[in-house]
């Protein structure tokens, strides 16, 4: 794994916008900045990460195994009624159980990892409910590779995997005439991710409709409707389950006929309290980091402190050999987990985190994010990658 300087394409902003990637230059305040050929605020292509084929194979194998371990952990939580341990409210447990017992299908997820000094993948967490960085992971970096590194390969079949999964879901929900896509319209990034997913669903034969989460209404009996009073049958939502189950409609969800993607059982997978449970179930697993509900477990040892429901690094703090690092945030009231310190690899003074995408339980893509500090954030740089087959 190396960070390699690249010559940016002369027309890179226009090329990205041509494929629908319009939020390529969001700054740290989520403001879209005007750019010239040499200014990078989020997407950057003055560098790329080069891997060898063995590293890619190890990342693939690790994600494949971790996904299975995570599913076993969900079963364990349900079988042993451990919802309170994850700070999941009692009224949500029946919704999770029903979703799991129906085997409600999932679309995707993303493991965030690092490669340790020996090249072994280590899992930081699983973004299982509302992962983003989709359009940049799939077609943006693929078109970059085709233009800049045409002789190389890329760990990236994400687009094809999404289309194939939507095709399977079309057959599974054969009686649904329309697939709704819902997100908060005040986020340009969320809209961009959802519009890309809508395109993959269209390619799979779905009829689709975009709706603002705030415009979804209910008949008070479990039926949900969009702003045009069209009933929602199946909906992809880029909106966390922990917000849905605390909304005004929380009591209607259990008896609602709507099928959500991602399904409610993903509430367990997306909760960082699953990390200590994974370690209890699979102690010493080569791709897991030691984790605990008790900070005393790491007394005198470097470690990370993570809120159960943190997103984008908010509320995360690190106790490192060189001091403490805090990233403020609003999360934490729900509780914290503690995880062995495993600093991300550094290249040219930048900390690098690897995201491995899962679609239909199969690893199918890699994204690379880099940050000046050791805690990755929503606005951390996205950098394309490639590898040469040995």
Calpha distance 107→168 (Å, rounded):
10
Q: Are strands 323-326 and 317-320 parallel, antiparallel or unpaired?
A: antiparallel
Output phi, psi for 160, to 5 deg. Answer: -65, -35
Q: What is the pLDDT of residues 249-276, one digit of tens each?
A: 999 998 899 999 999 999 999 999 999 9
User: Which long-range contacts link 316-325 to residues 24+ away (Cβ below 8 Å)?
Assistant: 316/375, 318/374, 318/375, 320/374, 325/373, 325/374, 325/375
Calpha distance 364→372 (Å, rounded):
27
Q: Give kind and range of the element (H or E) at residue 178.
A: none
At 390 the pLDDT is 67
- Taking the CA of residue 54 as centre, how many other CA atoms within 13 Å lie in the half-sphere pointing to its CB? 5
Counting as low any pLDDT under 70, the low residues of the chain are 37, 390
Please give the biggest Cα pair distance in the chain.
Answer: 60
At 318 the pLDDT is 94
Calpha distance 135→194 (Å, rounded):
9
User: Could you tell me the pTM of the whole model?
Assistant: 0.96
Calpha distance 4→252 (Å, rounded):
52
Q: Are 311 and 272 in contact (CB under 8 A)?
A: no
At 181 the pLDDT is 98
At 160 the pLDDT is 98
At 37 the pLDDT is 66
Calpha distance 284→65 (Å, rounded):
14
């Amino acid at each position: 794994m190396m960070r390699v300087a690249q010559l940016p394409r002369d027309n890179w902003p226009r090329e990205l916008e041509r494929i629908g990637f319009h939020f390529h230059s969001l700054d740290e305040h989520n403001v879209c900045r005007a750019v010239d050929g040499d200014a990078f605020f989020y997407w950057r292509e003055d560098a790329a990460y080069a891997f060898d084929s063995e590293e890619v194979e190890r990342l693939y194998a690790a994600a494949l195994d971790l996904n299975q371990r995570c599913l076993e952990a969900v079963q364990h939580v349900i079988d042993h009624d451990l919802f309170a341990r994850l700070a999941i409210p009692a009224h949500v447990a029946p919704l999770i159980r029903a979703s799991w017992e129906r085997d409600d299908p999932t679309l995707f997820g993303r493991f965030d990892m690092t490669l340790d000094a020996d090249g072994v993948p280590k899992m930081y967490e699983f973004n299982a409910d509302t992962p983003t960085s989709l359009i940049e992971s799939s077609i943006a970096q693929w078109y970059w590779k085709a233009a800049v590194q045409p002789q190389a390969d890329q760990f990236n079949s994400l687009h094809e995997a999404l289309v194939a999964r939507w095709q399977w879901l079309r057959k599974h929900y054969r009686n649904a005439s329309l697939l709704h896509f819902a997100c908060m319209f005040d986020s340009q990034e969320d809209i961009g991710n959802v519009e890309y997913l809508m395109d993959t669903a269209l390619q799979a034969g779905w009829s689709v409709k975009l709706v603002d989460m705030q415009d979804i209404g209910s008949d008070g009996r479990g039926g949900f409707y969009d702003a045009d009073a069209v009933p929602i049958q199946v909906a992809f939502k880029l909106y966390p389950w922990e917000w849905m189950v605390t909304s005004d409609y929380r009591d209607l969800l259990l008896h609602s006929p709507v099928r959500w993607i991602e399904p409610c059982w993903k509430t367990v997978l997306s909760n960082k309290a699953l990390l200590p449970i994974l370690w209890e179930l699979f102690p010493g697993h080569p791709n897991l980091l030691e984790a605990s509900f008790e900070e005393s477990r790491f007394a005198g040892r470097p470690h990370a402190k993570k809120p159960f429901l943190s997103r984008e690094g908010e509320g995360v703090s690190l106790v490192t050999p060189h001091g403490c690092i805090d990233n403020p945030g609003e999360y934490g009231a729900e509780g914290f987990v503690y995880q062995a310190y495993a600093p991300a690899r550094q290249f040219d003074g930048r900390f690098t985190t690897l995201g491995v995408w899962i679609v239909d339980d199969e690893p199918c893509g890699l994204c690379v994010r880099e940050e000046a500090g050791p805690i990755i954030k929503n606005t951390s740089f996205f950098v394309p990658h490639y590898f040469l087959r040995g």
